[in-house]
């Protein structure tokens, strides 16, 4: 099948030293985990209205970074996340992921990349209500073609890591918001993705559960996971190490966050 992506590319355990110093000199710009070049996203609405959601954005993110993308609603931050997460494609510009140009990949290739390279955590949890916590976490492994037994072991292990070992057979409706979000994080992690993309992960939670979730992200970051956090809440954004602010589809600031 011509759809198939080079299996080596999909291997998640990319050689560690390559990213040890952030930029790998030999590979230059391609050493970043994610590199966007002059990316634009333009929506053609009814009539001749053109809505420019993203305007000529260039951005690089290294392995192991904990990045918060902040901006008011309508700033284009969700569009940016969708493009980074391969849920959407840009109108113009280039997107390199792990040094590879994936700008022109088709639906199936993008689906495979989403499955293997990204873990999504959404504001609304987006768990399947009819499936148990365990089945929800197994889902990405099903699409990755992992066998039933291994799938189960992996899913249980990841749920236990999230402190949900007791609740693997509960349905989302039987879990609290914080627990549901932890199931969602387990689902995002179970495939050992390169990047975790979290879109307002605390938006639907009370402040206590929200803090717990952010502590989980901190923990994941300290273990070397790459995390991209989309939020409009500066208090949540402060958990990250790098803060990118966008407004009207353009990056207005990109700075280190001083440790709390």
Partner 1 sequence: MGVTAVITLISLGQGSTRRVTSQIESLGTNLIIINITGGRNRSVTEEDLERIKNIPGVSEIAPVLSGGVTVKAGNKNTNSSLEAITPGYQQVRNSHVQLGRFLLQNDLDMRFRVAVVGVDVADELFGRRDIVGEKISINGVEFSIVGILEEKGSSIAGSDDNKVIIPLTTGQRLLRNTEVRTFYVSTQSPDVVNQVVGEIQRFLTRKFNDENSFRVFNQTQLLSTINEATATLTMMLGGIAGISLLVGGIGIMNIMLVSVTERTREIGIRKAIGAKRRDILIQFLIESAVLSGLGGVLGIMLGFVGVRFLSRILNIPAAISADVVLLATGFSVAVGVIFGLYPASKAASLNPIDALRYE
Instruction: Return residues touching partner 1 (CB under 8 A).
Output: 82, 85, 87-88, 107-108, 111-112, 114-116, 120, 122, 126-128, 139-140, 143-144, 187, 191
To the nearest whole angstrom, how small is the minimum distance from the Cβ of residue 107 to partner 1? Answer: 6
Distance (Å, whole) CA 188 – CA 184: 6
Helix (H, G, I), strand (E, B) or coil at 230: strand
Nearer to partner 1, 96 or 125 (CB): 125
Residue 147 is classified by DSSP as -
Helix (H, G, I), strand (E, B) or coil at 173: helix
To the nearest whole angstrom, how small is the minimum distance from the Cβ of residue 111 to partner 1? Answer: 4
Nearer to partner 1, 71 or 85 (CB): 85
To the nearest whole angstrom, how small is the minimum distance from the Cβ of residue 145 to partner 1? Answer: 10
Nearer to partner 1, 158 or 191 (CB): 191
To the nearest whole angstrom, how small is the minimum distance from the Cβ of residue 256 to partner 1? Answer: 30
Residue 257 is classified by DSSP as P
Nearer to partner 1, 20 or 128 (CB): 128
Cβ atoms of residues 175 and 153 within 8 Å: no
Backbone angles phi, psi at 85, to 5 degrees: -85, 10
Quote the distance between the C-alpha of residue 62 and its chain's center: 13
**Nearby residues of 91 by Cβ (< 8 Å), 6 or more positions away:** 40, 41, 42
To the nearest whole angstrom, how small is the minimum distance from the Cβ of residue 237 to partner 1? Answer: 22
Distance (Å, whole) CA 165 – CA 127: 17
Distance (Å, whole) CA 46 – CA 142: 39
Nearer to partner 1, 73 or 260 (CB): 73
């Amino acid at each position: 099948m011509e759809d198939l992506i080079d299996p080596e590319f999909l291997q998640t355990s990319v050689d560690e030293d390559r990213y040890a110093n952030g930029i790998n000199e030999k590979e230059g710009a391609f050493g970043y985990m994610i590199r966007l070049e002059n990316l634009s996203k333009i929506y053609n609405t009814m009539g001749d209205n053109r809505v420019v959601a993203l305007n000529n954005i260039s951005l690089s993110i290294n392995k192991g970074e904990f990045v918060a993308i902040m901006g008011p609603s309508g700033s284009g931050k969700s569009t940016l996340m969708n493009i980074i997460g391969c849920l959407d494609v840009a109108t113009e510009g280039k997107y390199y992921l792990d040094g590879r140009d994936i700008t022109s990949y088709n639906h199936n290739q993008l689906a495979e990349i989403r499955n293997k390279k990204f873990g999504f955590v959404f504001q609304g949890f987006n768990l399947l209500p009819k499936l148990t916590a365990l089945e929800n976490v197994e889902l990405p492994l099903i699409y990755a073609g992992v066998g039933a037994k291994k799938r189960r072991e992996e899913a249980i292990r990841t749920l236990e890591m999230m402190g949900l070992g007791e609740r693997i057979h509960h349905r989302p409706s039987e879990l609290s918001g914080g627990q549901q979000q932890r199931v969602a994080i387990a689902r995002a992690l179970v495939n050992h993705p390169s990047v975790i993309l979290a879109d307002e992960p605390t938006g639907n939670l009370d402040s206590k559960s929200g803090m717990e979730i952010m502590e989980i992200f901190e923990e994941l970051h300290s273990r070397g996971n790459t995390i991209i956090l989309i939020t409009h809440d500066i208090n949540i954004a402060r958990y990250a190490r790098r803060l990118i602010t966008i407004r009207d589809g353009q990056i207005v600031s990109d700075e280190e966050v001083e440790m709390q």
